[in-house]
């Protein structure tokens, strides 16, 4: 309401010498210039003392040619115009302007449809097609909206999604990525067509369904950690409505999904009634954790990814067992996040330590002497790596990389570490893995706290 109260209007007309005094105000070129400049500005903006609150310009025989205002979204026609002037007039709204404007609207109060057809006939066939391709008439837009709404309804019927409120049913269907993508495409098409018609009264009939689909979209995005299901890219005028609806339902889009390391994660999982849905939430939360949180530790990442794949393959479709094993895997990941670091930096140095432990000892438990030796080796190699990476363009220089490999080999084969198992026979593998971790974690090594 406050926004509507702040909207300003002005009249832009040409003047004649015998105009009545009250009309001369609206034919003042200086005032025209100020009003037009305000109209083209972002609403609510301010430049050099001029506010961008001019929302409506009332025009008569003006601004037909040479008027470029991409921000203009609606033209109300209440005067019969013909030919080239008609096309020039409606072209004023035929410009995109960022996310807020994908197309313009012409509200025809006088019936210029037949005049528009005659105006188009003045051009050759190619130009006619170019003009026609930019026009969408209300009947066509409504038909496309109905069709896209029917498409989502058909998707729901085909997949047994009778109840809009049964979110777990949607999650179970969306576990199949092909079906999830099919829904996303249908929702995107429905959004585009609804935006084309809104705020016409016919569009209001679809808003209740659209709000619920937006809720499904948002919650499924969090459930599967799939950003493609977010509300990014939704046109602002629809987003403003769905945001209010989601907040009213207690759904806050800016709140990130709960981490698998968080104590409250299990509460989120237990909110679902179906075992498959619970298992899917854990699975995708683990995948997200491996991709994001363990991206700097390829060995640990690979180990957990292998375990995840094995569970899904071995217990396929046995959702109770999948759920049970995934929860065990989650606990292993939690324990790994709490493992002792022996004085090493968890982010910078522990990836190298784990690599060396895996290459030389496999999965066996280490005694204190072995841990001490591995820690010392890690520090020595890390010191060499950190020094070399400080040189600009290191990874683009083959001689620099060869030098680092030689330095690592010299450290590995030194007498200090001769007691470590397999260090000689696996030196090439260890050096290669060390270089991979160093390159992947270049910024962490140089800049992390």
Task: Identify the domain boundary among 290, 306, 337.
Answer: 337
Q: Which is nearest to 134 in space by CA: 182, 176, 102?
A: 102
Mean pLDDT confidence for 360-379: 93
Q: What confidence score (pLDDT) does residue 2 get?
A: 67
Query: Which of 8-17, 72-81, 225-234, 342-351 has maximum average pLDDT?
Result: 342-351
Could you tell me the pLDDT band of residue 127, with boundaries at 50, 70 and 90?
low
Say yes or no to pLDDT of 76 above 70: yes
Which residue reads 């066996």 in tokens?
A: 364
- Are residue 148 and residue 127 in the same domain, yes or no? no
Domain extent, residue 205, equals: 139-248
Q: Is pLDDT larger for residue 86 or for residue 50? A: 50
pLDDT tens-digit map of 250-263: 887 667 788 898 88
**For the domain that residue 117 is a member of, what is the CATH number?**
3.40.50.300
Does a structural domain hold residue 68?
yes
Structure tokens at 374: 């591995």
Does a structural domain hold residue 429?
yes
Q: What confidence score (pLDDT) does residue 449 get?
A: 79
- Are residue 315 and residue 388 in the same domain, yes or no? no
- How many domains does the chain fold into? 4
Q: Which is nearest to 175 in space by CA: 162, 159, 191, 186?
A: 159
Q: Please, how many CA atoms are within 13 Å of residue 321, restricted to the half-sphere of its CB?
A: 9
- Are residue 234 and residue 158 in the same domain, yes or no? yes
Say yes or no to pLDDT of 1 above 60: no
Of 31-45, 79-93, 385-399, which range is least confident?
Answer: 79-93
- Are residue 157 and residue 229 in the same domain, yes or no? yes
Q: Is 187 left (phi over 0), alpha (psi -120 to 50) or beta?
A: alpha
How open is the CA angle 301-303-309, to the nearest 5 degrees? 100
Task: Identify the domain boundary among 248, 283, 309.
Answer: 248
Q: What confidence score (pLDDT) does residue 131 get?
A: 61
Say yes or no to pLDDT of 74 above 90: no
- Are residue 217 and residue 290 in the same domain, yes or no? no
Mean pLDDT confidence for 70-86: 76
Say yes or no to pLDDT of 321 above 80: yes
């Amino acid at each position: 309401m406050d926004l509507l109260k702040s909207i300003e209007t002005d009249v832009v007309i040409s003047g004649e010498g015998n105009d009545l005094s009250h009309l001369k105000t609206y034919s003042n070129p200086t005032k025209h210039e100020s009003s037009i400049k305000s109209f083209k500005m972002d609403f609510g903006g301010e430049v050099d003392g001029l506010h961008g609150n001019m929302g409506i310009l009332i025009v008569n025989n003006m601004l037909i040619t040479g008027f470029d205002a991409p921000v203009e979204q609606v033209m109300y026609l209440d005067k019969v115009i013909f030919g080239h002037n008609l096309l020039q007039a409606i072209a004023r709204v035929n410009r995109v302007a960022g996310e807020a404007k994908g197309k313009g609207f012409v509200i025809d109060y006088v019936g210029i449809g037949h005049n528009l057809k005659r105006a188009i006939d003045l051009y050759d066939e190619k130009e006619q097609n170019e003009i026609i391709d930019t026009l969408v008439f209300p009947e066509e837009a409504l038909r496309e909206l109905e069709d896209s709404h029917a498409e989502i309804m058909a998707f729901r019927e085909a997949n047994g999604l009778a109840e809009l409120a049964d979110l777990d049913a949607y999650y179970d269907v969306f576990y199949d990525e092909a079906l999830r993508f099919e829904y996303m495409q249908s929702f995107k098409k429905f959004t585009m067509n609804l935006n084309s018609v809104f705020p016409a009264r016919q569009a209001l009939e679809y808003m209740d369904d659209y709000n619920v689909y937006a809720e499904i979209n948002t919650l499924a995005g969090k459930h599967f950690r799939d950003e493609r299901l977010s509300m990014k890219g939704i046109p602002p005028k629809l987003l403003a409505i769905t945001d209010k609806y989601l907040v009213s339902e207690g759904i806050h889009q800016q709140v990130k999904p709960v981490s698998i390391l968080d104590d409250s994660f299990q509460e989120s999982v237990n909110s679902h009634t179906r075992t498959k849905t619970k298992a899917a939430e854990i699975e995708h939360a683990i995948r997200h954790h491996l991709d994001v949180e363990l991206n700097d530790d390829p060995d640990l990442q690979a180990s957990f990814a292998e375990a995840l794949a094995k569970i899904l393959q071995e217990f396929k479709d046995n959702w109770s067992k999948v759920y049970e094993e995934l929860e065990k895997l989650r606990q292993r990941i939690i324990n790994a996040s709490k493992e002792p670091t022996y004085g090493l930096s968890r982010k910078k140095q522990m990836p190298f330590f784990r690599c060396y432990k895996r290459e030389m000892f496999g999965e066996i438990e280490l005694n204190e002497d072995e841990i001490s030796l591995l820690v010392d080796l890690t520090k020595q190699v890390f010191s060499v790596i950190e020094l070399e990476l400080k040189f600009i363009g290191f990874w683009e220089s083959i001689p620099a990389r060869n030098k680092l490999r030689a330095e690592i080999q010299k450290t590995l084969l030194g007498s200090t570490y001769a007691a470590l198992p397999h260090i000689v026979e696996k030196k090439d593998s260890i050096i290669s893995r060390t270089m991979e971790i160093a390159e992947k974690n270049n910024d962490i090594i140089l800049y992390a706290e």
